Amino acid sequence: MKISETITYAAPPETVYAMVSDVAFQERKCVEAGAHRHEAAVSPAGDGTRVVTKRDLPADDLPDFAKSIVGSTLSVTETYEWGGAGGDGSRSGTLTVEVAGAPVAMRSTIRLAPSGSGTQITIDGDLKASIPLFGGKVEKAAAPAVIDAIRSEQRTGNAWLSGRA
């Protein structure tokens, strides 16, 4: 299932990149998403950065058939691999989201680029559930949670940036 979302921030690309590659921001993002437990790590990767968050989220909003696969807690690992900056501050990379204990993952391309007086992060992904007969149903059930997580990150990011202006 294709998922395309755009996050918009009222800050230049360098500021947005500094935010998304900050461990404190990643931890705040996990807390504000309702994680029971989380960890975040940021490390250099060539000209860019590797950002990994792991979080345990309540599976309360998932349909019963999906809860039977993942249990009462959804353990999610999110890995951003950002490349080096272009002349305008833009960056490209990949985003992988995996669910522990379930054959569900999203693989995406990402782009951080200037847009008007701010910055946009574009996520174009493919959510796959490798479950015979039920894969499509699981993908449809998981898609709203993935989209909510992206929108939650935007809210957290906007609050983060406004607190530092």
Is the pLDDT at 138 greater than 90? The verdict is no
How does pLDDT run across 20-75, given as a tens digit for each residue? 999 999 999 999 988 999 999 999 999 999 999 999 887 776 666 665 665 667 78
Q: What is the pTM of this model?
A: 0.90
Q: Is 141 exposed, middle or buried (0-12, 13-18, 19+ CB in 10 A)?
A: buried
Per-residue model confidence as pLDDT tens digits over 69-110: 656 677 899 999 999 999 999 999 999 999 887 788 999 999
Domain boundaries, the chain: 2-162
**Mean pLDDT value across residues 115-134:** 91
Range of weakest confidence among 8-22, 36-50, 141-155: 141-155
2-162 carries CATH number 3.40.50.150: no
| ∠ CA 124-76-100, rounded to 5° | 115
Instruction: State the average pLDDT over residues 5-21.
Output: 97
